[in-house]
Amino acid sequence: MNKEHPNITILKRFNPADPNTAAEILAEDFVWHYINPKLTELEGDYFGLSGLKDFFQKLAGRTSGSFKVNPISATAIGDNIVIALVKDSMSLEGKPIEIDAVVVWCIMEGEIKEAWDIPIAQTAKMIRIVKEEL
């Protein structure tokens, strides 16, 4: 029987719908990197728990509170990295969309130090189509 990697167990304690769930597992110097040139108003680095909450509040505002994360898979790579594939669903500009994304997590000594949230290439195309239809 395969035992779950401890960093995946840590990651499962984080609920994007309530970033406060990460308070006990985030490093003090945690950084959330959001990369999406099609949503430039959200793109950038967010620091600490307050930054993470700020990011998700902005995202909720941009999506009328409809943003949801559906985890697909998570794979631990070595001692510090977990790569997660997720499918995000939301309403953007009044149009429902789903976006595949990869989130790379750096977990050290039981704390999440950094995360890079990167939408899949289709994402830019989907968002562009939504904006063109408006």
- 1 is a domain residue: no
- 11 is a domain residue: yes
Read off the pLDDT of residues 21-52 as tens digits, 9 standing for 90 and up: 888 999 999 999 998 877 788 999 999 999 99
pLDDT of 99 above 50: yes
CB 129 within 8 A of CB 123: no
* Structural domain that includes position 59: 6-133
CATH number of the domain that residue 117 is part of: 3.10.450.50
- 65 is a domain residue: yes
Q: What is the mean pLDDT of the segment spanning 41-70?
A: 92
Q: What is the mean pLDDT of the segment spanning 119-126?
A: 61
Spell out the long-range contacts of 2-5 with Cβ–Cβ below 8 A and sequence spacing 24 or more: 5/76, 5/82
- 14 is a domain residue: yes
Strand (E) or helix (H) holding 121 = helix 121-133
Q: What is the mean pLDDT of the segment spanning 72-93?
A: 92
Q: What is the CA radius of gyration of the chain?
A: 15
Cα–Cα distance, 1 to 82 (Å, whole number): 20
**Kind of pairing between the strands at 95-108 and 111-119:** antiparallel
- 39 is a domain residue: yes
Query: Tokens 């995202």 appear where?
Result: 59
Q: How many distinct structural domains can be found in the chain?
A: 1
- 49 is a domain residue: yes
Q: What is the mean pLDDT of the segment spanning 90-115?
A: 91
Q: What is the mean pLDDT of the segment spanning 71-98?
A: 90
